[in-house]
């Protein structure tokens, strides 16, 4: 399942292929896909889609594929990008991002 907000899939397709490795910026990404302007319920829906194993958390191995959650042709994040995204979202330091942490990360982007 992929996240689809209006017609930004086409925008993301261009984004995914143009963004060089080691250049992912989650704040710009969330802005580009319009996630910051979505309702809290929509943000939770996105979280549930990114939480591939349905554990209630987004773990590091799931973060690596965050772009593919928005577009099947999205590239994988590098290990460095994945760790940076985890550090930005994991406010309690437990090594995973919960739904509230994800919502906070989106709101602060």
Q: Tell me the C-alpha to C-alpha distance, in Å, between residue 72 and each of 1, 43, 105.
A: 9, 19, 23
Helix (H) or strand (E) holding 97: strand 96-98
94 labelled binding-site residue = yes
38 labelled binding-site residue = no
51 labelled binding-site residue = yes
76 labelled binding-site residue = no
Rg (CA), the chain: 13
Give the separation between CA 50 and CA 33, rounded to whole angstroms: 15
62 labelled binding-site residue = yes
61 labelled binding-site residue = no
Q: Tell me the C-alpha to C-alpha distance, in Å, between residue 59 and each of 13, 32, 47, 65.
A: 24, 23, 11, 11
Residue numbers in the known binding site for Ca(2+) are: 51, 53, 55, 57, 62, 90, 92, 94, 96, 101
Residue numbers in the known binding site are: 51, 53, 55, 57, 62, 90, 92, 94, 96, 101
């Amino acid at each position: 399942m992929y996240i689809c907000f209006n017609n930004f899939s086409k925008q993301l397709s261009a984004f995914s292929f143009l963004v060089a490795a080691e250049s992912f910026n989650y704040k710009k990404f969330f802005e580009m896909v319009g996630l910051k302007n979505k309702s809290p319920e929509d943000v939770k829906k996105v979280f549930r889609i990114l939480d591939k194993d349905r554990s209630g958390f987004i773990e590091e191995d799931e973060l690596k594929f965050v772009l593919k959650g928005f577009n099947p042709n999205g590239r994988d994040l590098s290990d460095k990008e994945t760790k940076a995204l985890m550090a930005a979202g994991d406010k309690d330091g437990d090594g995973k991002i919960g739904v509230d942490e994800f919502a906070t990360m989106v709101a602060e982007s």
